[in-house]
Amino acid sequence: MAEYSALSLLRNALSGNKDWKPAWRKPAPKASYDVVIIGGGGHGLATAYYLAKEHGITNVAVVEKGYLGSGNVGRNTTAVRSNYLLPPNTRFYEHSMKLWENLSHDLNYNVMFSQRGVLNLAHTPAQFDDYARRGNSMRHQGVDAELMSIAEIKRLMPAIDVSASARFPILGGLMQPRAGTARHDAVAWGYARGADRRGVDILENCEVTGFLRDGDRVTGVVTTRGEIRAKKVAVAAAGSTGRVMQLAGIDRLPIESHVLQAFVSESLKPFLDTVVTFGMGHFYMGQSDKGGLIYGGDLDGYNSYAQRGNLPIVEEVMAEMVALFPSLASVRMLRSWAGVCDMSMDGSPIITAGPLPGMYLNCGWCYGGFKATPASGFCFAHTIARDEPHELNAAFTLDRFHRGTVIDEKGQGATPRLH
Ligand SMILES: Cc1cc2nc3c(=O)[nH]c(=O)nc-3n(C[C@H](O)[C@H](O)[C@H](O)COP(=O)(O)OP(=O)(O)OC[C@H]3O[C@@H](n4cnc5c(N)ncnc54)[C@H](O)[C@@H]3O)c2cc1C
């Protein structure tokens, strides 16, 4: 712990950070590894960490085209929850929640996990019934869920407009008290440091531009830092999945890439100590520890690989915020940004061996892959190490789309615009 003491912080500040120990090494690529993981986002790094920690596989490289955190892991709005309806998703995301609850301890790195709750607002009787059904299903599977009345919502968030004359009157809500937020880049850094200390090579500024093949079998990758051979190659490239898979000759996947924007306001005194989602549109908001409001909405409605969005969604998101919290009309937005989301056609992820021999695929995270990071890494590592799925990702196959066994979690993942 000495390296993080107040004294060492002061010494480093005064010495121009000369003694600062990097959190992970900057190794040169080796000629070959047991496993190469494409994508140094949360999922790739967590996979490397659990490969080393749970399976003793440490001859691993994570290959990242930019710097760690440059993708969606550093661009999301950090909501963590397990409030799904369908059992495969509920079980998987609840396992993730349990890993989150011990993550700072496990990584010995403060990921600032804050269980401040996530509240879904209902605006029609049918929606309230729907939430009651989802809450029952969650509780049935051992996940916390509470229906909230209008009066309880007002007590929790005095600034919200619960009047009958509101643009979309609120009838109640579904709360998951154990849900919350985490510091997103700390998650990337914590997993990176944990993997590095177990011997994993993290290769930044190393873009995969092709695959090495022996017939159908994938035997390595071609990168901007040279060729790297590997017994197993795992793809965890999130919004770039389509592009990366095209390099292996896989042209058609049940994934669309869409831009998702997010926004942060100027700092306000603390007034919102939960994350709240609007039920009549795609709007949600929380307040960071620094006081800024962090909020977002729906996807931009066209396919894109550009990490920036367009004005119509900005207007839509602001209108939804003011519909819920009229007193925020004069708050200034400070920054906006965007990431590219890998939208699966049923709103559920894909974690599987294949589709080529020697290859493993992790994608389809839609709006919600940040909260999945621990369980995704845990299950993907199991799938890679043992060449069979963990029971928690057994349903998340690629072929479910042509077999017709989709896990259709509408409203949680894929947007209605895509249907
Ligand atoms: C605005 C926004 C808000 C969001 N809010 C939430 C939220 O509140 N809660 C939640 O659970 N989820 C949220 N998400 C979704 C979540 O961020 C993603 O699903 C998740 O981060 C994706 O996994 P990842 O971290 O591994 O992705 P990324 O961090 O995107 O990792 C993929 C990496 O692959 C790299 N890569 C791509 N191509 C190559 C190549 N050829 N060679 C080498 N490397 C390559 C990329 O540079 C990138 O770093 C949000 C997303 C966005 C954009």
- What pLDDT digit, counting tens, does each position of 220-235 carry? 999 999 999 999 999 9
Residue 126, Cβ density class (10 Å: 0-12 exposed, 13-18 middle, ≥19 buried): exposed
The residue whose C-alpha atom lies closest to atom 3 belonging to ligand 1 is: 76
Is 297 near ligand 1, meaning CB less than 6 Å away? no
Name the residue with tokens 């950090």. Answer: 78
Each residue's pLDDT tens digit, 64-98: 999 999 999 999 999 999 999 999 999 999 999 99
Each residue's pLDDT tens digit, 109-121: 999 999 999 999 9
**DSSP secondary structure code for residue 21 in this structure:** P
327 within 8 A of 294, measured Cβ to Cβ: no
Segment 177-200 mean pLDDT: 97
74 within 8 A of 184, measured Cβ to Cβ: yes
Is 236 near ligand 1, meaning CB less than 6 Å away? yes
Is the confidence at residue 2, as pLDDT, over 50?
no
Is 288 near ligand 1, meaning CB less than 6 Å away? no
Is the confidence at residue 311, as pLDDT, over 70?
yes
Rounded to the nearest angstrom, the distance between the alpha carbon of 239 and the centre of ligand 1 is 6
Segment 259-275 mean pLDDT: 96
d(CA 419, CA 405): 17
State CA 4 to chain mean position distance: 28
Segment 301-327 mean pLDDT: 91
pLDDT at 207: 98
The model's pTM: 0.95
Is the confidence at residue 8, as pLDDT, over 80?
no
The residue whose C-alpha atom lies closest to atom 50 belonging to ligand 1 is: 76
pLDDT at 417: 41
Segment 9-37 mean pLDDT: 89
Is 40 near ligand 1, meaning CB less than 6 Å away? yes
Segment 258-284 mean pLDDT: 95
Is 64 near ligand 1, meaning CB less than 6 Å away? yes
For the chain, what percent of residues have pLDDT higher than 90?
Answer: 86
Is 75 near ligand 1, meaning CB less than 6 Å away? yes
> Residue 414's pLDDT band (boundaries 50, 70, 90)?
very low
pLDDT at 97: 98
The residue whose C-alpha atom lies closest to atom 51 belonging to ligand 1 is: 76
d(CA 260, CA 241): 16
Look over the chain and give the mean of its residue pLDDT values, rounded to a whole number. Answer: 93
376 within 8 A of 84, measured Cβ to Cβ: no
For the CA of 70, the nearest atom of ligand 1: 49
Rounded to the nearest angstrom, the distance between the alpha carbon of 246 and the centre of ligand 1 is 18
Is the confidence at residue 416, as pLDDT, over 50?
no
Segment 246-256 mean pLDDT: 94
Segment 5-18 mean pLDDT: 79
